[in-house]
Chain A
Amino acid sequence: MRLAVIGAGAVGRSVLDLAGEYGHSVVAIADSESAAIDPEGLDSETVLARKDEEGRVGSADPDEAIDAEYDALVEATPTTLGDAEPGFSHALGALERDRHVVLANKGPVAERYGDLRAAERASTGEVRFEATVGGAIPAISTIEDFGPDHITAARGVLNGTANFILTRMAAEGLDYEHVLAEAQDLGVAEADPSFDVQGTDAALKCVIMANVLSGNGEFTLADAEVEGIEDVPGSALELAAEDGRTVRLIGEATREGVRVGPRLIPEHGTLAVSGTRNIVQIETTHAGRLNLSGRGAGGPETATAVLSDVGRLG
């Protein structure tokens, strides 16, 4: 397939880098200021070298990438809340041209699921968004394969930064501020970590799963009950440990809604993944639980989910 990649951050770059290995070609890539276009397929090394050296992928206008001749648009711009722009319009534009859309951007799927599905119904193009939940973990496609009617809940550890902080606090007996600073030094937490530690990122992923579970249901971040980890003190982790338990930021999606917050779980239980690892636990009606754990973030990891989606199209 011919792909147009919008967004040249870690995910967009990895999609460009890995597409050839999956038998696809990237005919256009855009960052916020520029675009590189080649109907014959871009050379990833050339484009990425230019991005590194000049801070831009090419000399064309970003809109030219959106208008290029492609089969599927890969939307990998940063997640935005509310109207989910410009990601939503990028997706809409592709669907109006009867092209497929593969999203790595959570905004349109979490905040405007109904609008997105309506645009898909009016198009011969399809929308896929495996990469929006749990990085490389095939959460969405597993829910779809089982059929949402046969699943009662999907829950898990969906934010590596929060999980890293809680894991370190419990293991080292350190307080939140100390571990956060360490995580920032290691590049595990961003300079402004609020999106991760306040539970917003995990909540968006759960909202997306709740939307898939409920079919036509339309949840947004505003419907989620969210508590972050900033107020979890070391003393709580100690008390949990005395009882053979630990604390993790767990998000849960059901047909009824979304809840995210610090939860007590068995210390050596399935959900107690360490460090930046993620896990999605799917509760089925007839087959017990299914646990999928793996890398929940990162360029190549998320690009792997994007390219798996591309393979499911058509």
Chain B
Amino acid sequence: MSDARAHTVRLELTDEPGELLNALRPIADNGGNLLSIYHERGNLTPRGRIPVEVDLECAPERFSGIVEALREAGINVIQAGEERYAEAVSVILVGPLIETDLSDTLRWFEECANLSVLDFSLSAPEDDRPSARLRLAAEAGGVADALSRVRDLAAKKELLVIEPQLDRGAEA
């Protein structure tokens, strides 16, 4: 999976039992690794269906196979590939997260244009420094910029950032 890239697919599902599972199976069966699922149950698409945004990771050459398999399974793929948030990356922050106001940190991310937090996990063991993992979605080509802003925030709050190792070829 070393060449894996994050992709976002936007699906439209009917409100029927098992429909979400039906949509996820072709992804796993075709070499995709699910990263996050955003199931907007409260919203409906113009056709009265439920929009679902799925972030997945796969080798670049597999992505079109996944989209094809989804369509073959009868799933309506609204958008794939060139998405608003085309790239997702994880970062880990280590250090005085709680003392430096965790909600302020999260608010900082929310207020960042072109960047959104897909997922947040905190681990704060009693006998060790706490860490938080954030899965961030950035606009296509915006990952390097997003990471440099995360570094600025971390420097201000004296946090250690464990950045993802970026592939320069993919960034260029």
Contact = CB atoms under 8 A, between A and B. Distances in A.
Interface of A: 152-153, 155, 175, 227, 231-236, 238-240, 242-245, 247-248, 250, 252, 254, 261-266, 268-271, 283, 288-289
A41 B90 CA distance: 57
B86 to A, nearest CB: 19
Interface string B95-128: 1000000000000000000000000010111001
B44 interface: no
A250 B165 contact: yes
A250 to B, nearest CB: 5
B133 A242 contact: yes
A271 B165 CA distance: 9
B163 A236 contact: no
A239 B164 contact: no
17 contacts: A152-B168, A231-B160, A233-B94, A234-B128, A235-B94, A235-B124, A247-B92, A254-B168, A262-B160, A263-B163, A263-B164, A264-B91, A265-B164, A269-B1, A271-B2, A283-B169, A288-B169
Contacts of A250: 165
B160 A235 contact: no
B135 to A, nearest CB: 7
Contacts of A263: 162-165
A227 to B, nearest CB: 7
A244 B128 CA distance: 22
Nearest to A243: B90
Contact of A243 (B1, B130, B135, B167): B135
Nearest to B159: A231
Contacts of A175: 128
Nearest to A231: B160
Given A245-B90, A270-B2, A288-B169, A235 B129 contact: yes
B6 to A, nearest CB: 11
Contacts of B135: 243
Contact of B92 (A234, A239, A271, A283): A239
A298 B90 CA distance: 35
B94 A240 contact: no
Interface of B: 1-2, 4, 33, 90-92, 94-95, 121, 123-125, 128-133, 135, 160, 162-165, 167-169, 172
Given A232-B160, A244-B33, 8 more contacts: A155-B165, A233-B125, A236-B123, A239-B132, A254-B168, A264-B91, A266-B2, A271-B165
Given A243-B135, A288-B169, A232 B163 contact: no
Contacts of A238: 123, 131
Given A155-B165, A239-B131, A231 B94 contact: yes
B162 A240 contact: yes
Closest 7 CB pairs of A and B: A269-B2, A235-B123, A236-B131, A239-B133, A270-B2, A263-B165, A235-B131
A152 B92 contact: no
By DSSP majority rule, is chain A's interface helix, strand, loop, or mixed?
mixed
Contact of A264 (B92, B132, B172): B92
A262 B2 contact: no
B33 to A, nearest CB: 7
B95 to A, nearest CB: 7
Given A269-B1, A270-B2, A264 B164 contact: yes
Contacts of A234: 125, 128
Nearest to A234: B128
B168 A266 contact: no
Contacts of A243: 90, 133, 135
A111 B1 CA distance: 37
Contacts of B1: 244, 266, 268-269
B2 A236 contact: no
A235 B164 contact: no
A242 B162 CA distance: 15
Given A283-B168, A288-B169, A239 B163 contact: no
Nearest to A152: B168
Contacts of A264: 90-92, 162-165
Nearest to A242: B121
